Amino acid sequence: MLDEGRPVVEVEGERCPVGRTRAQRLRTVTFHFQGQLIDGIEQNPQKDSRWAKLAQEGKRIVQYKCRGRFFANVCEGALMRYPAWTALRLPD
């Protein structure tokens, strides 16, 4: 999703368009994963968080949410689950 210029990504055989948010023009993608609708959004480097600081350093970070709750992020290929992962009963 974060590759420049990629208009579409494939997630488990589903072709998903890469969009952009209106305000900050962050890249986004929405896809289905094991029966759940998942939203991925690029980390905003202009925020004041440890993830934003990593994004400012050039790290590629995507935050994921399901049913309005952020449950994980991926930073340079490493997955970090939040407690919401369990609360949302997402599969391991």
* pTM score of the predicted model: 0.88
Contact 39, 64 (CB under 8 A): yes
What is the predicted pLDDT for the residue at 3?
A: 76
**Beta strands 14-17; 8-11: pairing state:** antiparallel
To 10 degrees, the CA torsion angle through 61, 48, 83, 11?
A: -20
Domain ranges of the chain: 1-38
39 secondary structure, DSSP code:
E
pLDDT tens across 13-46, in order? Answer: 999 999 999 999 999 999 998 888 999 999 999 9
Looking at the chain, the whole-number percentage of residues with pLDDT higher than 70 is 100
